[in-house]
Structure 1
Amino acid sequence: MEAAGNFAALQGRRQRRLDLDTFGRRQQALFDAQTRHCFHLGHGGTNRMFAREDAQDASVAPVEIERPSGVAKIGRVARHAFARQQRQFEIGRNALHPCRGPAAQQEVQQPAPLVGVHFRAQAERRIVASEPAQDQPRNFGPRPRRDLAGRHLAAIGVARAEARAFARLDQRHRLAAQREFICGGDADNAGTDDDDLHDGPALPVPRFEWGPTGIKAAQLWRRQRRGDGKERASAESLCPAYSAAIPRDRQAWSPPPMTVQTPLWPFVPSPRMVDITHAKGCILHTRGGGEILDASGGAIVSNIGHGRAEVGAATAAAMTSMSYAVPPFLTPERTRLMERLRRAWLPPHLTRTWLASGGSEAVDAACRLAVQHFRARGNTSRWKIVGRDISYHGTTLFTLGIAGHEARKRGFERLIPDMPLAPTPYALRSPLGRHHPDFDIAAADAFEALVLREGPETIAAFIAEPIGGSSGGALMPGPRYWPRIQEICKRHGILLIIDEVMTGFGRTGKAFACAHFDIAPDILVSGKGLAGGYAPIVGVFASEEVVAPLAEGGQSLMFYTYGGHPGACAAADKVLQIMEEEDLVARAAARGRALAERLEALLGQHPNVAEIRGEGLLRGIEIVRDRETLERFPESAAVTQRVIGAGLKRGVFFYGGGTGAIRDIVCLGPAFIVSDAELDRMAETLKAAIDEAVAAV
């Protein structure tokens, strides 16, 4: 009774302002929030309440507040009575947070005589368990922190059964809680038929709330203390941890609705995604039983189509034999892939291979190789990589700097290297005039003028796609462009890097698009078609002349962890084998001609289609407001997105493109096994989608 009386007296003094040197009213607001105390277990810091056990009388313990100027005793309280009065426990900001370091994952040992309890200075995102039922036995002592898959569960004075339940949350609870925390989704719907996480029964999970932080919390507190009739602070507004335990209709603030269905995109909310369960050939199957004809092979990736069991079997065999080997080591899968590439696919002068897991990595590595080539020869003045103004080479900061995709650079300009960009041969909008016969020579001459202006002695390499990818919508360079570019590079000692991440391995009807223009690159980058979407693997291929200075100087190109992964190499080797056995490169050329004929018949004279271009199964359609004047739609009209949406509504997926210079592009790049009936459907649906999108603007 004496202990309970002491605690009641302490509660009666909860409105008293604590004179803390550095934390002031915001801490007081949190400490005195109605009858609740929003404490949580944690590490470090100078704000800390310590409950020290007394060896003689464990029922009474002094409570102290530590501050920089010393320790001020605020009274004595019965430790067990204090625990009994708690109605909820709080998980602090580290709970379920995917980005906290190992320092936040230390465990508090139960036998320790000192149990730390401190309060946060700001009301932030929190999660609170519901209050245990009155008839449940309570735990009369602070429970230790439990590790929950690397996250923390802090419990003070809650029922043991409830603490154990939260500590043993299974995967479904954790995923639903993560979704609620990251995306603001409705965790109460977890487990329903349309839930992408699992198909089990609905399970209750803690709810996350947003609340005022920092200055806003302090302003609310001042208004309450001032009594000026303005908005009054409450436990709900000052402490979101409290609001999570009260009915929804009483909450003072609620988060904006978001529609993300899963935690797969943790950073930025987005509309509900299409849920694909499986695929076969060129058809994607949705959870609801629908079908989508993939007119773009994903992101211009698929070549042999979905569902080839032999690729899965080869990958499984490789990964059963070996899960991983560091890239400098050889594996049977990597050896077989290298032999196949040299024998049947690569230009004969490209004898050196370096493997990575993505196109951005590969382009970045190719540019580093070019600079490293000159440094190994003692030439440190060549460090510039020249790109083109209508281009895209990846999403690393460096690859963004060598491309002209301005929309992707916004907000990162200070981080991105400012590399020179040459004009792109663009027949439709050539400075010389629409489809001028010398547009290609003019673009090549402009490149040489740029080289002379920058100084040839400062340029290490020129990088470009042989046929423009999604950034230009399959821009064709003209017959004289590449011979002229090669002559300029050779004359000025500049290495030529050809980016065939999108066009390589049969996409344009030849093994590599270089073959259409007799290009002999010093470095070749290729990726998407290497494994046809079955595994993340790309390659950088270089000549002996490029690599020799590095070898002589004992240097090497830095590798990526998953470069040349055994499973990925096995998948790529099997995909290339299938393409050889079924002659899919020649099929891509024939299917490409058939697709071009259908597009020309339906869209060749369309008032909103400026041009249909491309080679093989890489085709681009440029959409404009006026075909004659080439007037573009405003960016706010989002015509490309409208076309993609209208296509999906009709069960066909198209791939968007453009850079700003070319605003509205739709790209087609189906798998090489596409049928005539599927080509017919693609063309007809594209026409209907363009008509619908234009009518809606």
Structure 2
Amino acid sequence: MSLPSSYFFFEPSSATPSLIIERAQGIYLYTKEGKEIIDAASGAVVVNIGQGREEIATIAQEQIKKLDYIVPIWLSEALEGLVKKLSEWFPTEPYRFYFTTGGAESVEAAFRFAFLYQIAENKPWKNKILSRWTSYHGITLGALSASGNRLRREHLEHCLLDWPKIPPPYCYRCPWSKTYPSCGIACAQALEEVLHSKTGNSIAAFIAEPIIGASGGAIVPVEEYWPAIADICKKHGLLLIVDEVMTGFGRTGKRFAFEHWKLQPDIIVSAKGLSGGYIPMGMLAVREELVQRCEKVAKNFMFFTYTSHPLSCAIAKKVIDILEAENLIDHSMKMGELLGQSLKNELANHPFVGEIRGKGLFWGVEFVKSKITKEPFPPEEGFLNRLLRKALELGVFFYPCQGMADGFSGEAVLVCPPLIVKEGDILKIVAVLKESLNQLI
């Protein structure tokens, strides 16, 4: 038998630390050599309830013995249980749920629904999705077309749909060089301006992350931003899609991050924390009245092969049960306050730290070469990779973010440990980040 030259599809960059993870428990990863690593990134902001849960293994075993797969047009007990549970999480208005195997699939499904809805409204010319720069919605071509992450769009630009984008709500590097609150919330008014342009009449929906994750490093908008965006969408007949793939299911100290602004989105996309990494799964939640309108036009909404997979549904429901039973959303808020304050106390005056921002257990630290000018480190210097290596040597993994300054430069880390994290763990995470930065001076 001839083995390939790598176990990876693309061999990882030499700048990326190569590890073999043999097992995990709680917030800890263990390498083949026995090294213990705190996962301060929850994997890719996925592992909300921690790893190695016996109750999840039990549920999985029971479900596999009972029912593994059915055609998605049929109903399973596991699907029924998950939908009932999720309905409790949306108490103010009824939503319909559609399940996928991950975030990108869910985003694609959201776009498909948005276009179908506009057809139901007799507006078939509304066939574009409006989004923001410094954003990421998935690596499939539709989701990537709506993503404003230039690094991840690189080499594929010629294949992507030419959909419009507005600048992000990024006060630290305001695209208009203005200062809050005298700025007039220009980042929200940018949406209004696009809708009054020649492309405005072709917009079916606006998609954005409540708090910008992988592309920005937990960029939190000002309080007025989201209410203004929601009002503009409603006025112009756009569907508002919130991308909660990273921020959903307790990550920011609320069930969903949009709750911080008391929004009522038309469509909610989520994944990651829905199943806590125990199985690939994503979801789409759409306001009931919108689905009912589309049902009058279309006979069905085509499923993916693994839509509503019984095993995925059973595991997801158990993950939500655990979030509730252990009060992990309240715990996320409490530990998040400690994390944010500790980061600010220990790092705010560090010469390499530009801004510290976040909510709940979703924090970002942006690094700069100069605190005064906010000049980012040039990518070729490899600052972020060197920092990650130092932190791993000291036993902590952080999630890297790049490109927020100008699309290609700008470096940050997400600090977002599992929601089960304890006070002592947080203090160690912050201490390791500080020591790693000090070693790079």
TM > 0.5? yes
Q: Report the AA paired with residue 276 of structure 2.
A: G
Contact 2:334 2:360 in 1 (8 A): yes
Q: Label 1:599 to 1:582 Cα distance change in 2 as closer, same or farther (>3 A).
A: same
**Secondary structure of the equivalent of 2:159?**
coil
Between the aligned partners of 2:10 and 2:216, the Cα distance in structure 1 is: 28
Match for 1:280: what amino acid?
Q
1:654 paired residue number: 398
**Root-mean-square deviation (CA), in Å?**
1.6
> Matched residues in 1 for 2:285 and 2:92: separation?
11
Partner of 1:357: 101
| Structure 1 counterpart of 2:350, from 606, 613, 621 | 606
Matched, 1:282 2:27: yes
Q: How many residues end up aligned between the 2 structures?
A: 436
Shift of 1:347: 4.9
1:427 and 1:439 in contact (8 A); partners too: no
Determine if contact 1:440/1:481 at 8 Å carries over to the other structure: no
Q: 1:365 to 1:659 in 2, by over 3 A?
A: farther
Give the number of the structure with larger relative contact order, counting CA–CA contacts within 8 Å between residues 6 or more apart: 2
Q: Which among 408, 415, 419 is matched to residue 159 of structure 2?
A: 415
Residue 440 of structure 1 deviates from its aligned partner by: 6.8
Among 252, 267, 278, the alignment partner of 1:508 is 252
Deviation, structure 1 residue 431: 4.1
TM-score (norm 1): 0.61
Quick one: structure 1 residues 472 and 269, their matched pair in 2 at CA, closer, same or farther if it must change by over 3 Å?
closer
Q: Does 1:686 align with 2:437?
A: no
Secondary structure at 1:453's aligned position in 2? coil
Once the two structures are TM-superposed, the CA of residue 659 in structure 1 deviates from its matched residue by 2.9
Compute the displacement of 1:641 (Å).
1.5
- What is the CA distance between 1:549 and its match in structure 2? 2.5
Residue 468 in structure 1 maps to residue 212 in structure 2:
yes
Q: Residues 259-289 of structure 1: CA distance to partner in whole angstroms, max 9, x if unpaired?
A: x4xx2x1344655731111111111111111
Q: CA deviation at 1:635?
A: 1.4
* Partner of residue 9, structure 2: 266
CA distance in 2, matches of 1:372, 1:610: 43
1:390-415 deviations in whole A, cap 9, x for unaligned?
10000011111111101111111111
- Residue 338 of structure 1 pairs with residue 83 of structure 2: yes
Q: Note the C-alpha offset of 1:486.
A: 1.1
Amino acid corresponding to residue 399 of structure 2 in structure 1: Y
Aligned to 2:311: 567
Distance 1:427 1:287 in 2: 43
Counterparts of residues 148-159 of structure 1 (less than 5 Å) = none
| Equivalent-residue separation in structure 2 for 1:440 and 1:278 (angstroms) | 51
State the 1:565 CA deviation: 1.2
> Is the counterpart of residue 369 in structure 1 residue 113 in structure 2?
yes
Structure 1 pair 350–408 and aligned structure 2 pair: CA distance change class (3 A): farther
Report the structure number with the largest CA radius of gyration. Answer: 1
For 1:536, the equivalent position in structure 2 comes to: 280
Equivalent in the alignment of 1:385: 129
Distance 1:435 1:586, change over 3 A: farther
Is this contact kept in 2: 1:468–1:474, CA < 8 A?
A: yes
d(CA) in 1 for partners of 2:347, 2:192: 37
Paired letter, 1:489: C
Matched, 1:666 2:413: yes
Q: Secondary structure at the match of 2:268?
A: strand
TM alignment of 1:41-440, pairs within 5 A:
174=1, 177-178=2-3, 182-183=4-5, 260=6, 263=7, 265-268=8-11, 270-271=13-14, 273-343=18-88, 345-433=89-177, 435-439=179-183
Contact 1:350 1:541 in 2 (8 A): no
Counterpart of 2:383? 639
- How many Å separate the matches in 1 of 2:317 and 2:176? 46
Name the amino acid aligned to 2:418: A
Aligned to 1:618: 362
Contact 2:388 2:398 in 1 (8 A): yes
Say whether the 8 Å CA contact 2:167–2:175 is kept in structure 1. Answer: no
Aligned amino acid, residue 432 of structure 2: T
Q: Any gaps of 5 or more consecutive residues in structure 1?
A: 1-173, 184-259
TM-score by length of 2: 0.95
